[in-house]
Amino acid sequence: MPINLQGKSFLKLLDFSTEEILYLLELSKEFKKLKLTRTPHRYLEGKNIVLLFEKTSTRTRCSFEVAGYDLGMGVTYLEPGSSQMGHKESIADTARVLGRFYDGIEYRGFSQDLVQELSDKAGVPVWNGLTDEFHPTQMLADIMTIEENFGRLKGLNLTYMGDARNNVANSLMVVSAKLGINFTACGPKDLMPKADLVETCRELAKEHGSTITLTEDPKEGAKDAHAIYTDIWVSMGEPADVWAERIKLLEPYRVTQELMDLGAKGCIFLHCLPSFHDTNTKVGQDIEKQFGIKEMEVSDEVFESRQSKVFDEAENRMHTIKAVMYATLK
């Protein structure tokens, strides 16, 4: 049966079949070609979208904006705290208003229930630009980058190192399970993904011939990995006072060259960004002053190495988000 995602929201990858995810990846490749050859593709001219952000963003916001413009659409950006939503107006009422004005809504915020409610009430597709639980548009870019480097996906080994129960780690486990990638969550016992999500992913992985492994040993986690992925140790929305504990728990999981060297031949480094790999940020400087460390989740050596594909990955956010909007709005 041909794939048809018209009118569908993009809230989490558990809602999508393997075939649908692969279709979005194929579409992303087409859009990348069009962009790189500067071929106009204003396929959604006349439509309008709104980007609703309750947390800050560089990549996700700019990807939606540029992708929207490239597709010929009008784009409204509502920055954190700048709309009535959450203060004077409920999510349900906001959804019903925005759904009358716009053809699609991007939402970045806190609980997954909120983005679900927005989608239930808006009557137009809603795209999840990150919640505390999932970051599905990021996954398409990550998988696209992995495929660009290895020419395949099935049977590869992907290791997430660090806070293995955050939105990015959860989403990587889901997408790996759906695409037959062997996924390892490597982190301390207290920062492992929830048991029910692991169970769901193990069942999916079995169907697709891959495995889900949890390990607390960074060397075991890195061994034979085709891609080693990490993310910041404290996510948006978490209180600043967790830094001390997180640093203590996660220092052994910093992605160093020594860990990268344990990976499979051609092992690549991935990170959704932003990253604390040096002290060229305000947070980086504060952490150095307070805790005496200059690098956090990844060493600067690895971040700047040839194995690091983080900027290709960031670019792919735009192509993949374009594919999601096109598939759901066309």
Cite the annotated binding site for carbamoyl phosphate by residue number: 57-60, 84, 108, 135-138, 272-273, 317
Residue with token string 């609703």: 52
Q: Least distance to ligand CP from the beta carbon of 8, Å?
A: 21
Q: Which of residues 156-215 bind ligand CP (CB under 6 A)?
A: none
Among 9, 138, 157, 307, binds ligand CP (CB under 6 A): 138
Is-catalytic flag, 257?
no
Residue with token string 């980058």: 145
> Pick from 96, 7, 103, 100: which is nearest to 49 by CA?
103
Tokens encoding 19: 């075939």
Is-catalytic flag, 116?
no
* Residue 192, helix vs strand vs coil: coil
Is 298 near ligand CP (CB under 6 A)?
Answer: no
Q: Which is nearer to ligand NVA, 57 or 116 (CB)?
A: 57
Through-space distance between the first and last CA atoms of the chain, rounded to whole angstroms: 18
Using only C-alpha atoms, the chain has a radius of gyration, in whole angstroms, of 19
Which region among 56-64, 176-184, 191-199, 302-310 touches ligand CP (by CB under 6 A)?
56-64
Q: Are 76 and 49 in contact (CB under 8 A)?
A: yes
Q: Which residues pair with 230 in a beta bridge?
A: 271
Which region among 6-14, 57-65, 91-99, 184-192 touches ligand CP (by CB under 6 A)?
57-65
| Alpha helices, H only, the chain | 18-36, 59-70, 91-101, 112-122, 136-150, 167-179, 195-207, 218-222, 243-250, 257-260, 282-291, 300-303, 310-329
Q: Which is nearer to ligand NVA, 8 or 55 (CB)?
A: 55
Q: Are 298 and 307 in contact (CB under 8 A)?
A: no
Catalytic residue among 61, 135, 165, 246: 135
Among 58, 84, 90, 281, binds ligand CP (CB under 6 A): 58
Is-catalytic flag, 290?
no
Binding to ligand NVA by CB under 6 A, coded x per residue (else -) over 248-277, reads ------------------------x-----
Q: Are 181 and 272 in contact (CB under 8 A)?
A: no
Give the residue numbers of the binding site.
Answer: 57-60, 84, 108, 135-138, 167, 231, 235-236, 272-273, 317
Q: Which is nearer to ligand CP, 60 or 182 (CB)?
A: 60
> Pick from 162, 281, 278: which is nearest to 230 by CA?
162
Is 329 near ligand NVA (CB under 6 A)?
Answer: no
Is 231 near ligand NVA (CB under 6 A)?
Answer: yes
Q: Least distance to ligand NVA from the beta carbon of 174, Å?
A: 15
Which region among 53-61, 98-106, 180-188, 286-294 touches ligand CP (by CB under 6 A)?
53-61
Neighbour order of strands in the sheet with 104-108: 74-78, 48-53, 104-108, 126-128
Among 34, 236, 264, 293, binds ligand NVA (CB under 6 A): 236
Q: Least distance to ligand CP from the beta carbon of 70, Å?
A: 18
Is 309 near ligand CP (CB under 6 A)?
Answer: no
Q: Least distance to ligand CP from the beta carbon of 20, Å?
A: 22
CA angle 110, 111, 117 (to 5 degrees): 115
User: Within 10 Å of residue 1's Cβ, how many Cβ atoms?
Assistant: 4
Q: Are 107 and 126 in contact (CB under 8 A)?
A: yes
Binding site residues, ligand NVA, CB under 6 A: 130, 166-168, 231-232, 235-236, 272
Binding site residues, ligand CP, CB under 6 A: 57-60, 130, 138, 272-273
